[in-house]
Structure 1
């Protein structure tokens, strides 16, 4: 294989590796981070103490409770006395340990329901994904009854279901989820394989290693930029009734691992590129290595040096061999 062909193939492989780095990190995060119920619940657990999230939950749940009570109560009494008490009671409930337990359990139930719908291929008829929040509402109802809120005992909690995913989107998301699970493993493996093959095939391996490291750092930087742009677009598309600070806190919590991975790729790529550049400068500073002389020429050179050495004047002359007498004809 010629040097030009080797360099071209190495450049193609290294370019493919650098392109697959951000996509591989994204797919692995989605397949092994978001698709794991335990990791998801652990990621969402700190949000129970976030002020923006608690205010959004208190506002949403309080509005729902006052809406149910409003069917049997005068509107002026509801707005003037009952509604503030309901919102204060719900807000105080969000600061208790019972709320944190209900928050974790609600996230676990919702995530399990969503995963079952995405992984169950035997269901020919797609159904909407719903979750029952009756335990949470029951705890709020008990707290309101303890505070002697009017008509709190009449709040219905038997079937409080919230739709997580419409039925028309289940089949489409199921196919995408299957592709994502496959890509979450093969994309990172392919990126590493292409990088190793490109470096091994390159004519100048130091340059190839530097290019791979810089490309990896660039891929990590692009991934971090994509996360920032995705956050802005996600918050901009939210309805007016959804709290943007709470949604931003949820987005940041879900993408915390992916953001850390992106900056890790940037740091790793720049470190490898810097070490490769320093090692190259060190080799150049030492200069080229002396060429080894062939061993067969060494005795000849030694013999020439011995014949060229001057003879001292007081050294004895070696005896000469007698010459045979010449007879003239």
Structure 2
């Protein structure tokens, strides 16, 4: 008698299951249509429950828009909280400035201005030459020494500048700068609270300054160690470099406590609004896509705003306060972490929108899901024929497939929500690993009705077994 192989039986089972599912859907649709067209249905079926009205749809739109608008504010608030409370994060943000060539040149120039304002090098050189000539040099020697006053003073200035520049560009300065940042982090908090003794000073017009006193003290000792004893005349000068000016900073000071608190909860509030907009929606799959796209659009606006803000900030800073190159470096350093987070959230929003579309009740995603399921079935059947089976574990995984998928999604979401700093690489790798886990779960699960590998072929007719 004719016999069928396991593969043939499995294909017939899958075809029958698909046909049964199609019939069930057709019957259910017919019943719903009949109940909707006639309140007194002969089948006695109750009228189906009405879906949510347009009011829920409007509420969903409002919640999603509020969440999307709060997202940029949450991004900035989270950055502010990190800068004001996390010393390691603060140092990591600003320490690279010590190794930037433009910043080093700016600090060197400003240090030389302070030294020359407090030590009259030409006068000291002239006094030395006059002291020598007073000892009784001849007319020719006196004229020669007088002619050397200018070059000698310029040479000393060059030597001092070389010493300052060498120190500022050294690893020792970078270490001193980093240590100063750690120590002055509390001073930054004091500045935001309006403490007049803070190392970082914020004036009423919003100008921000960094004190040069520690650098000048280091240079003074360095010059003395090189034998330039006149450097001992350099006093402990309380001088501040203005590195930026922002008229909004006094307002930030006034709302310092609110900024720290908002940084902790505002990002979660934005996320809660987006989630609520999806939950109350009439069509949640569509709402999920809309919320994800709205979040991505908000982050795109933030990225563009930073690009425009860099040009505006650089153009608004007077060259007399700070060179344009240094202003650009300071702005880039200040906003680097926020830009990175905005790009990462942008990619996350687009990824969620794509996932929501693929999982939604749309024709194309349905065909794609059927195609993926058939591919997983083919891989699983090939493994079964080769003697590779998950057996009872695979059957259990099939029964619990929804729970396992939700667990994978929750773990991926937890990584994105709680791991800091959030980066584009973290987002991409989390999504790749999540997709890989879901694909593996689809392959290793074992639907009911599949024959064990290695079992004998089954007969088609009842008499074939005898």
TM superposition score category, shorter chain reference: 0.7 to 0.9
The aligned residue for residue 159 of structure 2 is 85
1:33 deviation in Å? 2.9
* Matched residue SS, 1:202: coil
**Equivalent residue in structure 2 for 1:274, among 354, 367, 379:** 354
The aligned residue for residue 113 of structure 2 is 63
Deviations 1:198-253 (A, max 9, x none): 11111111110110111111111111111122222221121213122222222212
Contact kept, 8 Å, 1:66 with 1:78, in 2: the verdict is no
The aligned residue for residue 106 of structure 1 is 180
* Matched residue SS, 2:240: strand
TM-score (norm. length: structure 2) = 0.54
The aligned residue for residue 312 of structure 1 is none
Structure 1: tracts of 5 or more residues without a match: 121-125, 288-329
Q: Distance in 2 between matches of 1:178 and 1:5?
A: 38
Determine if the alignment matches structure 1 residue 263 to structure 2 residue 343: yes
Deviations 1:127-155 (A, max 9, x none): 36446654432221122223344621211
Determine if the alignment matches structure 1 residue 116 to structure 2 residue 183: no
Q: Distance in 1 between matches of 2:232 and 2:67?
A: 62
> Cα distance 1:29–1:138, how it changes in 2: closer, same or farther (>3 A)?
same
Structure 2: tracts of 5 or more residues without a match: 1-50, 127-148, 201-210, 371-466
After TM superposition, the structure 1 stretch with the greater mean CA deviation from structure 2, 63-72 or 15-24, is: 63-72
Contact kept, 8 Å, 1:220 with 1:266, in 2: the verdict is yes
- Structure with larger Rg: 1
Q: Distance in 1 between matches of 2:341 and 2:248?
A: 30
> Cα distance 1:224–1:40, how it changes in 2: closer, same or farther (>3 A)?
same
After TM superposition, the structure 1 stretch with the greater mean CA deviation from structure 2, 127-136 or 17-26, is: 127-136
Contact kept, 8 Å, 2:95 with 2:178, in 1: the verdict is yes
Deviations 1:53-87 (A, max 9, x none): 11111111122112221274469468622222222
> Cα distance 1:259–1:79, how it changes in 2: closer, same or farther (>3 A)?
farther
TM-score (norm. length: structure 1) = 0.75
Q: Distance in 2 between matches of 1:286 and 1:220?
A: 30
Deviations 1:301-324 (A, max 9, x none): xxxxxxxxxxxxxxxxxxxxxxxx
**Equivalent residue in structure 2 for 1:10, among 48, 60, 67:** 60
* Matched residue SS, 2:120: helix
Determine if the alignment matches structure 1 residue 194 to structure 2 residue 244: no
Determine if the alignment matches structure 1 residue 97 to structure 2 residue 171: yes
Q: Distance in 1 between matches of 2:241 and 2:330?
A: 19
The CA RMSD measured in Å over matched residues stands at 3.0
> Cα distance 1:76–1:106, how it changes in 2: closer, same or farther (>3 A)?
farther
Q: Distance in 2 between matches of 1:264 and 1:12?
A: 25
> Cα distance 1:111–1:81, how it changes in 2: closer, same or farther (>3 A)?
same
Kindly report which structure 2 residues correspond to 1:115-134, keeping only aligned pairs within 5 A, or say none: 115-119=189-193, 127=196, 129-130=198-199, 133-134=212-213
* Matched residue SS, 2:177: helix
Larger RCO (alpha carbons 8 Å, 6+ apart): 1
> Cα distance 1:102–1:70, how it changes in 2: closer, same or farther (>3 A)?
same
Contact kept, 8 Å, 1:86 with 1:149, in 2: the verdict is no
The aligned residue for residue 240 of structure 2 is 162
